Amino acid sequence: MEVQAKYYCLAAAAALLKYLEFIQNSVYAPKSLKVSFTGSEQTAMIDSASATNLELVVNNRDHRSEHTLFGVLNHTKTSGGARRLRSNILEPLVDVDTINIRLDSIQEMLQNEELFFGLKNAIGHFLDIDQLLSVLVQIPKQETVQAAEAKITHAIQLKHTLDLVPRLRDVLKECNTALLKAYSASLEDNRFDTILEQIKTVINDDTTYLKGSLNMRTQKCYAVRPNINEFLDIARRAYTEIVDDIAALVNQMGEKYGLPMRTSFSTARGFFIQMKLDGMVLQDGKLPPEFIKVTKQKNNYSFMTADLIKMNHRCDEALREIFHMSYVVICQLLSTVYEHIHCLYKLSDAVSMLDMLLSLANACTISDYVRPEFTDTLAIKQGRHPILERIAGQQPVSNNTYISQGSNFVIITGPNMSGKSTYLKQVALCQIMAQIGSFVPAEYASVRVADQIFTRIGVDDDFETSSSTFMLEMKEVSYIIHNVSDKSLIIIDELGRGTSAEEGIGICHSVCEFLLSLKAFTLFATHFLELCQLESLYPNVENQHMEVQHIRNVETGDENVVYTYMINRGCSEERHYGLKAAEMTALPTTIVHEAKTIASNVSQQLMAKQQSDPETQIERAVYHLATRLIQAARNSRLDTEGLRMYLKGLKRQYEVDLQAAQQLAASMEIEEE
């Protein structure tokens, strides 16, 4: 749809521009803004609750911490690159071709050290081009000293940026991937040279962007070439004489009192005198009375004199004249630059994207990441939690993940603290990393692109909306149900904990039946072992559990629980594992034993052993065989021998499943007799 047809979108943009004009007193130069429309269908949707739960950009415990997905991947050199990485993490791509183009570029950077370090050095010198452009095209309503000084700074920054283009162009010349070639071609734009030539007719060749207030102040004073404005040249000569007088005054004061004085400068104070006394003792223990505004830090003294204050005032007057006349000249210069400014938007896009790709490549050099493939299956071999891997003192436990169209609903059970929540987040984070064009922490990764990523994690109340834990759960699940699609990835962690066990099981069962009727990939972690019976009712449900080990102390006879953090097939065989966690605390033994007795009695009354009939098991075996054959036909890259071995394995598994169904039928006949 044409942008012109989007009335409310254009109205909101126009209102924003009017706000900037009337409230912030900023007016943009004609034809200087880049306007682009990006629809949500081009990116995956991640709601704010999911972004918070997964700690994509903000750590939930410490907002200043870098223990987030953004913190793990952020090795950017520019502010524009960091912003682009952040926006991509919050809005991953859904177009496989675009993702693969990014992956190709990262792979070339990793394989070509000269390109990797060349880009690293070239991009590290760029300023924030987005911010520079936003202020460069603004026309202030009032001409003030601050506005004039800022405009001169922006002109110097623009020259500094354009001076770096040839260097970046040379680095990209020998690239092979499509994206890097495209950026290399965009840097061949003649308008970069045209703008730089126009700038150099006004700005001195040796003018550059420097750090340090005095250095930058000097650059701004002498930015405009001499002989362009006669009055400007006179003002600069006056400024030079005043600065020389200040230096002479400080030297004279040092000789007069025999003290090691030197001239210093700060934006707030202007020129002032600094002195460091190493082992020297002041006469009478005091500074001479003509030294005023004295500050002391250890042996360092900073102070002024009345004459120096007067000279600072004269210096400021000269600077105001210089900035005013330089501002007039630079505004005339920029008016000729605006017609070519659109190439700078391309430069900003190129630098920020290259910076982001370089950051993702850098992350691969720190950890062992693998390039993902894109199929209709989510298959991750030995996947790791990217944030946990960064902060852990040792290599975290890796796990496999397999979700396909034939088994798209996974129920995960396991004791408290066994790693269910961490595993769920790991899968979601690997999915996001793959969709932004990053390598992922695994030995192998095949990913199905998700158009939406939903999570329901956490048990906190929401005081702002007066919502209890259960109400918050219901709101989030309702949001998922009303927005889910067949291509979504859904992560739900222990739904129904905020209410009674009966209601929790009922809610979970109903939600599961709704979600498993879709083609969305769902991982559902729960403590309600009753939900494991869904596997016997629906062929696309698969039970998995987090394994634990029980080690008995020979001397005391006590049994300790050891968490392996490994996921495996089947439902958890652990019972009353909440009470086992309670045993690890300081809770009195009598209370724990009483709780165990009551829990066992209740379980015997409420839980009856349920078993699927042989016909259902046979149907399930046929269903699993058929779905895996379809997946092999669509996605297999095995050679002839490898494919033969895989098909033999499928046949063996099918025979095992049929044999189990026949044994069940035989045992049921014996029971009936």
- How many other C-beta atoms can be found within 10 angstroms of the C-beta atom of residue 350? 22
Q: What is the pLDDT of residues 616-662, one digit of tens each?
A: 777 777 777 777 788 777 777 777 887 788 788 878 887 877 777 77
- Structural Rg of the chain based on CA atoms: 34
Q: Which of 190-199, 218-227, 579-588, 628-637 has the lowest mean pLDDT?
A: 579-588
Residue 53 φ/ψ, nearest 5 degrees: -60, -40
Q: What is the pLDDT of residues 425-455, one digit of tens each?
A: 999 999 999 999 999 999 999 999 999 999 9
Average pLDDT of the chain, as a whole number: 85
Nearest-CA neighbor of 88 among 132, 52, 37, 42? 42
pLDDT digits (tens, 9 = 90+) for 562-592: 888 999 988 877 666 566 666 666 667 777 6
CB contact burial 538-567 (16+ within 10 A = b; e otherwise): bbbbbbbbbbbeeeeeeeeeeeebebebbb
Structure letter (DSSP) for residue 382: E
Q: Thinking of the domain 230-334, which architecture would CATH place it in?
A: Orthogonal Bundle (1.10)
Report pLDDT for 148: 87
Tokens standing for 123?
Answer: 């991009």
Per-residue pLDDT band for 120 (boundaries 50, 70, 90) equals: very high
Q: Is the model more confident about 269 or about 578?
A: 269
The beta-carbon contacts of 93-97 under 8 Å, at least 24 apart in sequence, are 93/42, 93/43, 93/44, 93/435, 93/436, 93/437, 94/41, 94/42, 94/43, 94/44, 94/435, 94/449, 94/450, 94/451, 95/42, 96/374, 96/449
Average the pLDDT over each of 334-338, 350-354, 522-526 and give the range with the smallest value.
334-338
Range with lowest mean pLDDT among 420-434, 454-468, 477-491: 454-468
Is domain 31-209+341-366 in CATH 1.10.1420.10, yes or no? yes
Q: Which fold has domain 373-574?
A: Rossmann fold (3.40.50)
**Inter-CA distances, 543 with 265, 395, 535, 614, Å:** 70, 27, 7, 19
Most confident among 91-95, 204-208, 277-281 (mean pLDDT): 91-95
Provide the b/e sequence for 391-430 (b: ≥16 CB within 10 Å).
eeeeebbbbbbebbbbbbbbbbbbbbbbbbbbbbbbbbbb
The string of pLDDT tens digits covering residues 126-183 is 999 999 998 888 877 777 888 888 889 999 999 999 999 999 999 999 899 999 999 9
Answer with the residue of higher pLDDT: 259 or 610. 259
> What pLDDT is recorded for position 463?
55
Strands 452-456 and 45-46: parallel
Is pTM beyond 0.75 here?
Answer: yes
**Mean pLDDT over residues 402-415, rounded?**
91
pLDDT of the residue at 184: 94
Q: What is the pLDDT of residue 586?
A: 62
Q: What is the pLDDT of residue 609?
A: 45
**Considering only 253-262, 519-528, 664-673, which range has the smallest mean pLDDT?**
664-673
Cβ proximity of 367 and 389 under 8 Å? yes
Predicted pLDDT of residue 608: 43
What pLDDT band is residue 610 in, cutting at 50, 70 and 90?
A: very low
pLDDT at 24 over 90: no
Residue 596 has pLDDT above 80, yes or no: no
How confident is the model at residue 462, as a pLDDT?
Answer: 57
Within 84-227, strands assigned E span 138-140
What pLDDT shows up at residue 446? Answer: 94
Q: What is the pLDDT of residues 39-71, one digit of tens each?
A: 777 899 999 989 999 999 999 888 888 899 999
Query: Residues 372-394: pLDDT tens digits?
Result: 999 999 999 999 999 999 887 67
If pLDDT is split at 50, 70 and 90, which confidence band does 613 have? low
DSSP 273-337: EEEE-SS---GGGS--TT-EEEEEETTEEEEE-HHHHHHHHHHHHHHHHHHHHHHHHHHHHHHHH
Q: What percent of the chain has pLDDT over 90?
A: 45
